[in-house]
Structure 1
Amino acid sequence: MLSVDRPVCDTDHSLLPDSHLAWSSSYKSSPNGTRESDGVSFFIIQGLTSLGDKQMILFVFLLLGYIIILGGNSMIIFVVQVKATLMSATCLLSALTDPKLSSPMYFFLSNLSFVDMFYTTTTIPKMLSSFLSDTTTISVPNCFLQMFFFIQLSVTSRSILTVMAFDRYVAICNPLRYTSIMTWRVQLFLIAGAWSFSTICTSPATIMALCQPYCGPNVVTHGWCDPSSVRRLACADTSVDAIVSLSFALVALLTTGVLILSSYVLIGISISRMGVTERLKAFGTCAAHLTVVTISYTAASFVYISYRVVNFSPEVRIIVAVVYAVLTPFLNPVIYSLRNKELRDSIRRTLSRFRSAVSATKDINTVS
């Protein structure tokens, strides 16, 4: 296996066995009869294969976490969005509808849950399959698609958190104008802006990485197609790519972070002028969001530091990255369910009414 620490494009491929050539690259014949590299056709995801039997422990925890992420976020989407959209279709959905969850805050929350579900789906299923096989491969196009959507959905998640911070600012600082400001058109505009911002921040670095030649090593020392890990495999100078990637990452993090911080500074100033009762009520409306933002940015900072600590082994870095990728989507539904009484009560009523509706349907079928 070729070293993945640095590109090895000047290797004499005639010295390598044919099986390796077929494994790592596709080749074409040149006029003088020699074979020249035409670029790798797929990448090998190294993952955590070095852990041996311990992989199954991680497999179980990761699988359970993924199931909870899908279940918890699906429940939020159903309670907030699907019932309201389809309530006129059947009497059952009408009975399940909870009008208390029609405010903009819950609309943004359901969008955040949607993003979290697909964000984890870009990486976790592939990692789970890697635990069950000796070698995990991914085609070059799929690798860059995974890279794009993983980064894009991560930025989209933070952008939606920024939109939610603005929503809390309007609700607390301008409560009388909240309804007139946060109209349906404004909500759609904010969500479209979040997706557009994430796409703009993600596309340049991904396109530049895709345009690089990959002619030698094809082993990605990560759990998925991480940009920095794939960049090391390029057979060309990637210093510009690294600068562009870091620049847009800083733009994404600093823009969303500064806007969220500014919103909460203004919220704090407004809360300081309220009475004790109003202050507690106002703090309660943004406690869940503030908790999620704190965990998200703290975890991101820890991952950033771990990637730059030389003493950390590749396996530790991968585990840290996996925990980061799973942590926030896992905690979002838990935190909002625990900290938000309306959402918690709505989920409880939904489950209760659904059981009652199912029981009633069974009784009717039994009688007929």
Structure 2
Amino acid sequence: MEKANQTHVSEFFLLGLTSDPQQQMWLVVLFLAMYLLNVIGNTVIIAAILGDRRLHSPMYFFLSNLSLVDICFTTVIVPQMLVSMLMQNKAIPFAQCIAQMYFFVAFGITDSFLLAVMAIDRYMAICNPLHYTTTMSPRHCVLLVAMSWVVSHFHSLIHTLLMARLSFCGPNTIHHFFCDVQPLLTLSCSDTSINEVLAFTEGSLVIMSPFLFIVVSYVWITRTVLRVPSGRGRYKAFSTCSSHITVVVLFYGTIISVYIRPSSTYSVTKDRIVTVIYTVVTPVLNPFIYSLRNKDMKGALRKVIGKAEQPGPSFSPNRMTSSEQAGAE
């Protein structure tokens, strides 16, 4: 009888980052600029990798997939947020909200797994260069990327199905700028214990497992590099990992602070600011982080924007680039 008297919510209202119209206008300009930089920057990265044969190696294959996921990750959130602020319409249908949550979780976890795969690639290139060609073969690289996508979407599907079975009978105001797991759980009028246990156990496992792979990989990389006799050789080896380490710190530092804790400690103001960093800022920075200190990428980018460059050698997906070889020595 109690359930029969409950009214199922048909839509939610996203409060966004601010209710001040003046602040919303400059936020629209800021987030639109960052979104365009994200799409253009990551698209150029993908085009450069596809167009330059010197970049047809495992490391850049993984980077192109990371760039694609970064575009999808931000596209799930930012366009809806911009429309909401411009049209002053904060309503989002229930089904659309659940769909946004699904793709946000799926692409976020895919990002996490790809960063782990890239760490494994650096480990093999530096610590086991003689077995690099065999271990990081084209078939193995495709399997690693495919597993990253499949496991991530399966994980997201579980959370989405469990969220869809919950009852929402009011209030229906989400104190966030998109439909995330924790804000939705706080609005449910039914028992969310299963969702919270799954988020804290299985969710922590899915997020932390790639992070542990990254940490272990870099422990072995550090041990190997410190054995290199020349300071120049150590610098070259570490320089091939610096971009990846920077992205890992930005991504996991914010992700862990938001999700690896009970929902009772959820803070609206703090978590919205931190969420902006890994949903909008980090995907924008990734193209710059991976290209500024990479000579091979700089050359490919010059080629993309129309500057003349000598043709590279024939396609060899197993061949290590000059920066990779320097790190492996």
The normalised TM-score by structure 2 is: 0.86
Letter matched to residue 66 of structure 1: Y
1:221 corresponds to which of 171, 175, 179: 175
1:109 corresponds to which of 63, 73, 79: 63
Letter matched to residue 92 of structure 2: I
Percent identity between the two aligned chains: 38
Contact 2:159 2:195 in 1 (8 A): yes
Contact 1:49 1:134 in 2 (8 A): no
Q: Which residue of 1 aligns with 2:324?
A: none
Q: Which residue of 1 aligns with 2:278?
A: 324
2:241 corresponds to which of 275, 286, 290: 286
CA distance in 2, matches of 1:273, 1:315: 46
CA distance in 1, matches of 2:266, 2:128: 50
CA distance in 1, matches of 2:130, 2:85: 54
* Aligned pairs (5 A) from 1:21-32: none
The Cα offsets for residues 192-213 of structure 1, whole Å up to 9 and x where unpaired, read as 1111221233222221111112
Deviates more, 1:119-128 or 1:36-45: 36-45
The runs of 5 or more residues in structure 2 that have no matched partner are 310-329
Q: Which residue of 1 aligns with 2:288?
A: 334
CA distance in 2, matches of 1:339, 1:302: 29
The Cα offsets for residues 255-280 of structure 1, whole Å up to 9 and x where unpaired, read as 01110011111111111221223322
2:91 corresponds to which of 122, 137, 141: 137
Deviates more, 1:212-221 or 1:98-107: 212-221
CA deviation after TM superposition for structure 1 residue 215, in Å: 2.5
CA distance in 2, matches of 1:272, 1:310: 41
Letter matched to residue 249 of structure 1: G
> Does residue 1:118 correspond to 2:87, yes or no?
no
CA distance in 2, matches of 1:309, 1:60: 34
> Does residue 1:196 correspond to 2:112, yes or no?
no
CA deviation after TM superposition for structure 1 residue 349, in Å: 2.4
Q: Which residue of 2 aligns with 1:362?
A: none
Q: Which residue of 2 aligns with 1:255?
A: 209
The Cα offsets for residues 74-111 of structure 1, whole Å up to 9 and x where unpaired, read as 00111112x3xxxxxxxxxxxxxx22101110000000
SS in 1 for 2:305: helix
Q: Which residue of 1 aligns with 2:193?
A: 239
CA deviation after TM superposition for structure 1 residue 224, in Å: 0.7
CA distance in 1, matches of 2:264, 2:165: 29
* Aligned pairs (5 A) from 1:266-281: 266-276=220-230, 277-281=232-236
1:46 corresponds to which of 8, 11, 15: 15
CA distance in 2, matches of 1:219, 1:311: 16
SS in 1 for 2:178: coil
Describe the shift of the 1:49–1:298 C-alpha distance in structure 2 as closer, same or farther (beyond 3 A). closer
Describe the shift of the 1:140–1:171 C-alpha distance in structure 2 as closer, same or farther (beyond 3 A). same
SS in 2 for 1:44: strand
Contact 1:49 1:131 in 2 (8 A): no
Letter matched to residue 234 of structure 2: R
CA deviation after TM superposition for structure 1 residue 336, in Å: 0.5
Contact 1:202 1:248 in 2 (8 A): no
Contact 1:119 1:153 in 2 (8 A): yes
Describe the shift of the 1:311–1:264 C-alpha distance in structure 2 as closer, same or farther (beyond 3 A). closer
CA deviation after TM superposition for structure 1 residue 126, in Å: 0.7
SS in 2 for 1:138: strand
Q: Which residue of 2 aligns with 1:62?
A: 31
Provide the aligned length of Structure 1 versus Structure 2.
308
Contact 1:155 1:252 in 2 (8 A): yes
Q: Write out the 4+ residue segments of structure 1 that deviate beyond 6 Å after TM superposition.
A: 305-311
Contact 1:204 1:244 in 2 (8 A): no
Q: Which residue of 2 aligns with 1:185?
A: 139
CA RMSD of aligned residues (A): 2.5
Pick 1 or 2: higher relative contact order, CA cutoff 8 A, min separation 6: 2
CA distance in 2, matches of 1:148, 1:311: 20
Q: Which residue of 1 aligns with 2:219?
A: 265
Letter matched to residue 215 of structure 2: L
* Aligned pairs (5 A) from 1:165-176: 165-176=119-130
The normalised TM-score by structure 1 is: 0.77
CA distance in 2, matches of 1:303, 1:311: 8
Q: Which residue of 2 aligns with 1:146?
A: 100
CA deviation after TM superposition for structure 1 residue 37, in Å: 4.8
Contact 1:169 1:267 in 2 (8 A): yes
SS in 2 for 1:132: helix
Contact 2:250 2:278 in 1 (8 A): no
> Does residue 1:295 correspond to 2:250, yes or no?
yes
CA distance in 2, matches of 1:131, 1:140: 19
